[in-house]
């Protein structure tokens, strides 16, 4: 992490640690999550898909949150923290645009101006979300450097933060970045796992599912989901995009203020990630995922663009639920593994649907061979 | 005598080490050689472009160090690169083999130095206008060779004028360390170099050099620019 941002990160760490121990802060966040976001989100049995696959599939419905993805859970926490710290504006990076939309929403709600950095390529393929952010009053800054995706948007947000460090709060969208961000974002996202664990306890005869599956880009919805189950017997599975598989194929490295697993060449240059899902287009993975992998507590696998598209269409047709292409990667693994030793017949599997597929309609029209 | 350290992105053009000789002839005291990295988060547009250009020609950290090993430059060479490259196994040996005597890693703060294994190479730390006093003192104690004073809260890149924060930071550093304090980030003209050297022990000039090289200036032309910086610094030294 550059020296110029060390004091700012320390200030965020200190403020978060105080806020998280303050029942007043927790209460304000819980109230927003209920009244504004619509939590708790339901656990939906995927009845027809379960029959077809021979495993019991339960969907944790983050797609039903306000703004359409789990990103809002984290953003509201950080926006409240920013206000508590006396910061007057928010900056954010975004890939698919869901974190940008969530940040723009939080900014509108709390009266904080928002600037969102977004790779030019993502601006093109997620035009709908760009418009949503602008509609909500946020400024969207297209990033034209490097691969023009999430990695470069993150670099540019950090470069900007240095210039406005006293007034701006950097609202990181995933379990990446310097301390305290990976830990803090997991804590703000653990509401997914905590709710799901309670819901499973109420609804499943065995109380805990056999498998807990979530997609992993930086890994925030997976980190939040896993946090609720890491102390249970459930097997944890993170599903990466084939072209953005830091946890599966990465090597240890340092970028954006954290050490973890990154896709890189033999000289230490970070590789560009490639995925049809803009939200999974990140060459690294949050440090806690690298840790869970090393411990053997979670396993990380990949799904291809085609498998994800097919899974999205399949869920739409079997359950009437259109997931984000990001979330469809988690389902794609379930579809592929069901009935194999990886996911034996008769298992119960919880899948976090991190977001809804409305933003992906254009991609689906172009990619899905709809019969 | 004020210190002058121009910067060049290693491998920016074929035969790039000719610029090192030009810097030396122009009166540079040492030279900072950037080992290009894919994601230069501390750098502004110019050095980002220089890094991308160098990488696109197939430059690697190893190829830059190989070039340096055969270069005949007589002034000390300080390598600069990002943590992802500097923390790789064998990096220290590669620096030493290339005759590099100093190292700057702009995204590796004081707290993370333990991971760096570069025996025999002086690691110079960066201090920022945002660095609080107690931490600044630690940086003064932990730095080797010199302290790199970041003149402005921002990225590298040319600026219209020397930032007031440069003057404040240099003065704070001079109180807590006996090491030379070199101001860098944004120093773009001989005038600014002179202003900076009035409060610090010298300057580091990167983007202003690299913009000229990216625009096609050869060693002679860039050498003349470095000589103009030297002249401005010499005037400061005389006045004092």
Euclidean distance between the first and the last CA atom of chain A, given in angstroms as a whole number: 50
pLDDT band at B33 (very low <50, low <70, confident <90, very high): very high
Euclidean distance between the first and the last CA atom of chain B, given in angstroms as a whole number: 10
pLDDT tens-digit series, residues B151-184: 999 999 999 999 999 999 999 999 999 999 999 9
**Residue B206 has which token pair?**
């990167």
Percent of chain A with pLDDT over 90: 91
Question: Which of B220, B190, B216 has the alpha carbon at shortest distance from B203?
Answer: B190
Pairing of strands B181-184, A348-353: unpaired
Give me the residue label for tokens 């269409």: A313
d(CA A146, CA A272): 8
d(CA A280, CA A241): 6
pLDDT of A370 > 70? The answer is no
Percent of chain B with pLDDT over 90: 97
pLDDT of B112 > 70? The answer is yes
Chain B: residue nearest A155 by CA? B41
Mean local confidence (pLDDT), A217-227: 97
Sign of CA pseudo-dihedral B83, B87, B88, B90: positive
d(CA A213, CA A1): 32
**Mean pLDDT over each residue of chain A, to the nearest integer:** 96
The whole-number pLDDT of residue B239 equals: 47
Pairing of strands A56-61, A43-45: antiparallel
CA distances, A234 to each of A197, A201, A213, A240 (Å): 10, 12, 10, 19
Q: Whats the size of chain B, residue-wise?
A: 240
| Catalytic residue chosen out of the listed positions B24, B43, B67, B195 | B43
Catalytic positions of A: 71, 93, 354
Chain B: residue nearest A178 by CA? B107
* Burial label, B220 (beta-carbon count in 10 A; 0-12, 13-18, 19+): exposed
Number of neighbours of residue A27 by Cβ within 10 angstroms: 10
* Burial label, B25 (beta-carbon count in 10 A; 0-12, 13-18, 19+): middle
CATH superfamily of B3-239: Aldolase class I (3.20.20.70)
Report chain A residues whose CB lies below 8 A from the CB of B139. 3
- What angle in degrees, to the nearest 10, is found between the helix axes of B207-214 and B45-56? 50
CATH of span A38-69+190-367? 3.40.50.1100
CATH architecture of A3-35+71-170: 3-Layer(aba) Sandwich (3.40)
B159 within 8 A of B120, measured Cβ to Cβ: no
Give kind and range of the element (H or E) at residue B207: helix B207-214
A295 within 8 A of A288, measured Cβ to Cβ: no
| Catalytic residue chosen out of the listed positions B32, B67, B158, B195 | B32
Is there a shared CATH topology between the A3-35+71-170 domain and the A38-69+190-367 domain? Answer: yes
- Flag if A267 and B132 touch (Cβ within 8 Å): no
The whole-number pLDDT of residue A344 equals: 98
Q: Is A268 on the interface with B (CB under 8 A)?
A: yes
Mean local confidence (pLDDT), A238-243: 96
Calculate how close chain A gets to B83, using CA atoms only, in Å: 6
Interface ipTM: 0.96
Domain ranges of chain B: 3-239
pLDDT tens-digit series, residues A141-151: 999 988 888 99
Say whether pTM exceeds 0.95: yes
Mean local confidence (pLDDT), B106-135: 97
- Flag if B55 and A256 touch (Cβ within 8 Å): no
The whole-number pLDDT of residue B140 equals: 98
Mean local confidence (pLDDT), B27-53: 97
B147 within 8 A of B104, measured Cβ to Cβ: no
Domain ranges of chain A: 3-35+71-170, 38-69+190-367
- Flag if A165 and B150 touch (Cβ within 8 Å): no
């Amino acid at each position: 992490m550059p020296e110029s941002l060390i004091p700012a990160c320390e200030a965020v760490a200190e403020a978060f640690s105080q806020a998280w121990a303050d029942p007043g802060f927790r209460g304000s966040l819980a109230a927003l999550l209920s009244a504004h976001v619509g939590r708790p989100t339901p656990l939906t049995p995927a009845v027809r898909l379960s029959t077809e696959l021979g495993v019991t599939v339960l969907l944790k419905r983050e797609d039903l949150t306000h703004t359409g993805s789990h990103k809002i859970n984290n953003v509201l926490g950080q926006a409240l923290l920013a206000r508590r710290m006396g910061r007057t504006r928010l900056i954010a990076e975004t890939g698919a645009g869901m974190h940008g939309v969530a940040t723009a929403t939080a900014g509108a709600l709390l009266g904080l101006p928002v600037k969102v950095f977004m790779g030019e390529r993502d601006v093109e393929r997620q035009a709908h979300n760009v418009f949503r952010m602008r509609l909500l009053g946020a400024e969207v800054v297209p990033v034209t450097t490097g691969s023009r995706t999430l990695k470069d948007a993150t670099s540019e947000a950090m470069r900007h933060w240095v210039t406005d460090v006293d007034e701006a709060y950097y609202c990181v969208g995933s379990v990446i970045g310097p301390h305290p961000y990976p830990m803090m974002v997991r804590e703000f996202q653990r509401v997914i796992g905590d709710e799901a664990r309670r819901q499973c306890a109420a609804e499943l005869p065995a109380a805990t599912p056999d498998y807990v599956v979530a997609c992993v880009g930086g890994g925030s919805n997976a980190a939040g989901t896993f946090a609720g189950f890491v102390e249970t017997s459930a097997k944890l599975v993170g599903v990466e995009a084939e072209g953005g598989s830091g946890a599966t194929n990465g090597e240890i490295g340092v970028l954006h203020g954290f050490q973890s697993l990154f896709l890189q060449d033999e000289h230490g240059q970070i590789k560009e990630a490639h995925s049809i899902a803009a939200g999974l287009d990140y060459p690294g993975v949050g440090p806690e995922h690298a840790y869970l992998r090393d411990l053997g507590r979670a396993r990380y696998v990949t799904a291809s663009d085609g498998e994800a598209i097919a899974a999205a269409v399949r869920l739409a047709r079997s359950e009437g639920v259109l997931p984000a292409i990001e979330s469809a990667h988690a389902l794609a693994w379930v579809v592929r593994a069901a009935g194999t030793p990886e996911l034996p017949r008769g298992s119960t599997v919880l899948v976090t649907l991190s977001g809804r597929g409305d933003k992906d309609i254009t991609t689906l029209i172009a990619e899905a061979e709809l019969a | 005598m004020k210190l002058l350290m121009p910067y060049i992105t290693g491998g920016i053009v074929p035969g790039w080490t000719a610029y090192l000789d030009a810097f030396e002839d122009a009166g540079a005291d040492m030279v900072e050689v950037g080992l290009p990295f894919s994601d230069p988060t501390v750098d502004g547009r110019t050095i980002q472009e220089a890094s991308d250009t160098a990488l696109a020609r197939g430059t690697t950290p190893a190829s830059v160090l190989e070039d340096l090993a055969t270069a005949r430059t007589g002034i000390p060479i300080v390598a600069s690169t990002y943590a992802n490259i500097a923390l790789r196994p064998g990096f220290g040996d590669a620096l030493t083999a290339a005759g590099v005597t100093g190292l700057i890693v702009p995204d590796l703060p004081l707290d993370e130095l333990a991971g760096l294994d570069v025996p025999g190479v002086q690691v110079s730390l960066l201090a920022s206008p945002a660095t609080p006093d107690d931490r600044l003192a630690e940086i003064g104690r932990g730095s080797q060779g010199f302290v790199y004073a970041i003149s402005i809260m921002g990225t590298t890149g040319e600026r219209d004028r020397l930032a007031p924060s440069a003057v404040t930071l240099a003065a704070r550093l001079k109180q807590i360390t006996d090491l030379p304090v070199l101001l860098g980030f944004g120093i773009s003209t001989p005038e600014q170099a002179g202003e900076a050297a009035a409060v610090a022990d010298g300057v580091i000039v990167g983007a202003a050099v690299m913009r000229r090289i990216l625009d096609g200036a050869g060693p002679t032309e860039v050498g003349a620019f470095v000589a103009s910086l030297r002249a401005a610094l010499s005037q400061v030294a005389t006045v004092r």
